[in-house]
């Protein structure tokens, strides 16, 4: 048994970022063709395309603003013209900002997290899911965070956005389930990506000490979970929030 995404087309937002590049490459290695978005860093996007060349799959970068309906609509049209309608969407992009206490955090930061977490997911669903419904198969996968369960100091804007996103996606899972479209969330912990490796900051003893598996997860750990949820192996899983954080947070029953 292995993850086989042959014949599938995926769209990954924020595919040139730390987690996104691993997700794009992993989906391609599993047999999917992949369209991914970037916002500003075209050089990083070209590097992701280059790295995926050895997979033998078609991988293409598209510039998009995930908080704009016009931009997402144009993305859908561009992807269709390139390769056809997508089967899988992975909503990974998020606006970065400096974390501060709730009393000090600017209102603009709360708005940015609403737009890049809640609105991003709503727009991707409105634009891409109708075709999945018509075809009777689809995968919506969103990147959440362990922070949504932690609610620690300085996390307020991020948690507000991610918890709002969680609610919208759980409702969507119930609405599109009859059409065999699944909707799930992957929730990473403090993850090691290429930046941490290049800076030599992979080890964070204080954080690792509280993680049951006693290590930080990697971008590949997260990408593996995304690939599983994108596959037929996860065909009867929907509405799930799946922590990929070594047990640092544990949803309860």
Q: What confidence category does residue 1 fall into, taking pLDDT thresholds of 50, 70 and 90?
A: confident
pLDDT at residue number 77: 98
Domain-wise residue ranges, the chain: 9-191+219-240
The Cα 145–Cα 122 span in angstroms is 18
Residues 57, 9: contact at Cβ < 8 Å?
no
Query: Percentage of the chain with pLDDT > 90?
Result: 96
* Structure tokens given for 236: 């009867």
Give the mean model confidence (pLDDT) for residues 181-205.
94
What are φ and ψ of residue 128, in 5° steps?
Answer: -100, -30
Whether residue 201 has pLDDT greater than 80: yes
Give the mean model confidence (pLDDT) for residues 60-69.
97
The Cα 136–Cα 98 span in angstroms is 42
What are φ and ψ of residue 182, in 5° steps?
Answer: -100, 150
Output the average pLDDT for the chain.
97
pLDDT at residue number 95: 95
What pLDDT digit, counting tens, does each position of 143-176 carry?
999 999 999 999 999 999 999 999 999 999 999 9
The Cα 88–Cα 231 span in angstroms is 9
Whether residue 246 has pLDDT greater than 80: yes
The Cα 207–Cα 234 span in angstroms is 31
pLDDT at residue number 102: 98
Looking at CATH, the fold of the domain delimited by 9-191+219-240 is given as Rossmann fold (3.40.50)
Whether residue 253 has pLDDT greater than 90: no
């Amino acid at each position: 048994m292995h993850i086989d995404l042959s014949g599938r087309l995926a769209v990954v937002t924020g595919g040139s970022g730390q987690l996104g590049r691993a997700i794009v490459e992993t989906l391609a290695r599993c047999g999917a063709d992949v369209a991914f978005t970037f916002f500003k860093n075209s050089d990083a996007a070209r590097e992701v395309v280059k790295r995926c060349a050895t997979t033998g799959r078609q991988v293409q970068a598209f510039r998009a603003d995930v908080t704009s309906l016009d931009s997402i609509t144009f993305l859908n049209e561009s992807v269709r013209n390139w390769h056809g309608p997508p089967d899988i969407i992975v909503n990974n992009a998020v606006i970065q900002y400096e974390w501060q206490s709730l009393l000090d955090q600017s209102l603009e930061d709360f708005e940015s997290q609403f737009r890049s977490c809640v609105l991003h997911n709503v727009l991707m669903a409105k634009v891409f899911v109708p075709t999945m419904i018509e075809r009777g198969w689809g995968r919506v996968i969103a990147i959440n965070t362990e922070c949504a369960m932690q609610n620690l100091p300085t996390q307020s804007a991020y948690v507000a956005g991610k918890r709002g996103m969680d609610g919208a996606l759980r409702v969507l899972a119930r609405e599109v389930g009859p059409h065999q479209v699944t909707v799930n969330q992957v929730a990473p912990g403090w993850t090691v990506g290429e930046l941490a490796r290049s800076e030599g900051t992979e080890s964070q003893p204080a954080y690792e000490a509280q993680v049951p598996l006693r290590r930080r997860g990697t971008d590949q750990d997260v990408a593996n979970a995304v690939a599983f949820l994108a596959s037929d192996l996860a065909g009867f899983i929907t509405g799930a929030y799946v922590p990929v954080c070594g047990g640092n947070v544990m949803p309860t029953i």
